[in-house]
Amino acid sequence: MSEADQGGGSIGPLDIAKVMAALPHRYPMLLVDRVEELVPDRSIAAIKAVTINEGFFQGHFPGRPIMPGVLIVEALAQAAGVLAVESLGLSGSGKLVYFMAIDDAKFRKPVEPGVLLRLEVEFVQKRSSVCKFAGKALIDGQVAAQANFTAMIADPPKA
57 domain-assigned: yes
Tell which residue, 8, 19, 87, has the closest CA to residue 49: 19
Provide the number of structural domains found in the chain.
1
Q: Which residues pair with 143 in a beta bridge?
A: 138
Q: Please tell me the pTM assigned to this model.
A: 0.92
Query: Residue 76: which H helix or E strand, with range?
Result: helix 69-87
CATH number reported for the structural domain that contains residue 61 in this entry: 3.10.129.10
For residue range 31-89, what is the model confidence (pLDDT) as tens digits?
Answer: 999 999 999 999 999 999 999 999 999 999 999 999 999 999 999 999 999 999 999 88
Catalytic residue check, 25: no
30 domain-assigned: yes
Query: Exactly one of 25, 34, 60, 126 is catalytic; which is it?
Result: 60
Its domain, for residue 36, covers: 16-154
For the sheet containing 34-39, what is the strand order? Answer: 34-39, 43-49, 116-126, 130-139, 142-154, 96-107
Residue 158, judged by CB atoms within 10 A of its CB (0-12, 13-18, 19+), counts as exposed
Tell which residue, 66, 54, 61, 48, has the closest CA to residue 28: 54
